C-alpha cells in the first residue's frame, strides 16, 4: 500500500488510520500489507497512478501494476493524502476453494480452535494465493507458512522431501521462525505441475497436530502411532 502525501510525512498513527479507511472501503483485511509513503508537491490520483507506473518501470512492482491499482483520496490533519493499493498477483487463486475443502475434513481436536477457523478467512486465503515459496505471516491465532512444490503426485512429492515430510517441514518451520509453543502453526504445501494442482495442510496446536498423512512414509506413520 502506497501513501502519496503533501507536507509533513504521515505518522504511524495516521498511516494506521488510512489503512482502516481502505479496509472499510474494500472489506478486505490488510493485516501484514507493507505501507510505503512518498512525498509529492501535489497529492492527486493521477500523480499516484504515475507513481505506480514509474515503480513498475523500475521493477519495484510486478508487471501490470496499474491494472491492479485502486486509489483513494483522504483529507488528513497534516495535509492531503492519496492512498494507493496495488493488489498482489495471485499465483495460485485456486487455493481459495481448495483450502476450505481441506478444512471440511477437520480433525475433531482442532476444529474448535480459532486459528483453524481463521484459515478459511479472506486475509489468509489471499495471502496463500499470492505467496511465494517460504512466505510466512503471523495472523491472530495462527502463524501461516507456505511452501510451493512443482509436483502433485504423492510419490514425486516424497522424493523432494529429504528425510521424510516430518523432518523436512520441521526445517521449514524453524527457518521461518514459526513456533507451535507460541501460537498455532499452519503449513500450507501448495503443489502444481502446470496441469494438476493440490494443497496439503499441516496444523500444529500445542501438543496436538494434524499431518498430511498421504505424504508420510511408513516409518513416519509408525512413529506417530507409537506417540499416540
pLDDT in tens, 164-178: 999 999 999 999 888
Segment of 9-13, 123-127, 212-216 carrying the highest mean pLDDT:
212-216
- pLDDT greater than 90 at residue 145: yes
- pLDDT greater than 70 at residue 217: yes
Chosen domain end from 31, 62, 86:
86
Q: Are residues 136 and 40 in the same domain?
A: no
Q: Are residues 118 and 141 in the same domain?
A: yes
Q: What percent of the chain has pLDDT over 70?
A: 96
Number of domains in the chain: 2
C-alpha to C-alpha distance for 146 and 217, rounded to whole angstroms: 21
C-alpha to C-alpha distance for 166 and 216, rounded to whole angstroms: 7
Q: What pTM does this model have?
A: 0.70
Q: Are residues 73 and 167 in the same domain?
A: no
Tell me which residue range forms the domain holding 65. Answer: 2-86
Please list, in sequence order, all residues whose beta carbon lies within 8 angstroms of the beta carbon of residue 222, skipping any fewer than 6 positions away: none
Q: What percent of the chain has pLDDT over 90?
A: 36
Amino acid at each position: 500500500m502506497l501513501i502519496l502525501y503533501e507536507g509533513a510525512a504521515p505518522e504511524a498513527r495516521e498511516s494506521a488510520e488510512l489503512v482502516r479507511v481502505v479496509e472499510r472501503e474494500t472489506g478486505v483485511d490488510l493485516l501484514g500489507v507493507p505501507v510505503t509513503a512518498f512525498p509529492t508537491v501535489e497529492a492527486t490520483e493521477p500523480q499516484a497512478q504515475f507513481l505506480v507506473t514509474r515503480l513498475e518501470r523500475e521493477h519495484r512492482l510486478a508487471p501490470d501494476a496499474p491494472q491492479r491499482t485502486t486509489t483513494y483520496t483522504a483529507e488528513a490533519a497534516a495535509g492531503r493524502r492519496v492512498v494507493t493499493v496495488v493488489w498482489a498477483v495471485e499465483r495460485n487463486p485456486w487455493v481459495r476453494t481448495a483450502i476450505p475443502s481441506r478444512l471440511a475434513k477437520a480433525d475433531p481436536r482442532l476444529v474448535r480452535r480459532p486459528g483453524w477457523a481463521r484459515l478459511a478467512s479472506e486475509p489468509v486465503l489471499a495471502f496463500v494465493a499470492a505467496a511465494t515459496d517460504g512466505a510466512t505471516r503471523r495472523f491472530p491465532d495462527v502463524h501461516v507458512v507456505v511452501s510451493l512444490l512443482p509436483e502433485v503426485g504423492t510419490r514425486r512429492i516424497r522424493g523432494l522431501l529429504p528425510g521424510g515430510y516430518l523432518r523436512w517441514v520441521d526445517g521449514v518451520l524453524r527457518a521461518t521462525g514459526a513456533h507451535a509453543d507460541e501460537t498455532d502453526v499452519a503449513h500450507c504445501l501448495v503443489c502444481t505441475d502446470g496441469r494438476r494442482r493440490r494443497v496439503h495442510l499441516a496444523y500444529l496446536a500445542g501438543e496436538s497436530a494434524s499431518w498430511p498423512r498421504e505424504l508420510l512414509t511408513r516409518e513416519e506413520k509408525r512413529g506417530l502411532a507409537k506417540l499416540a
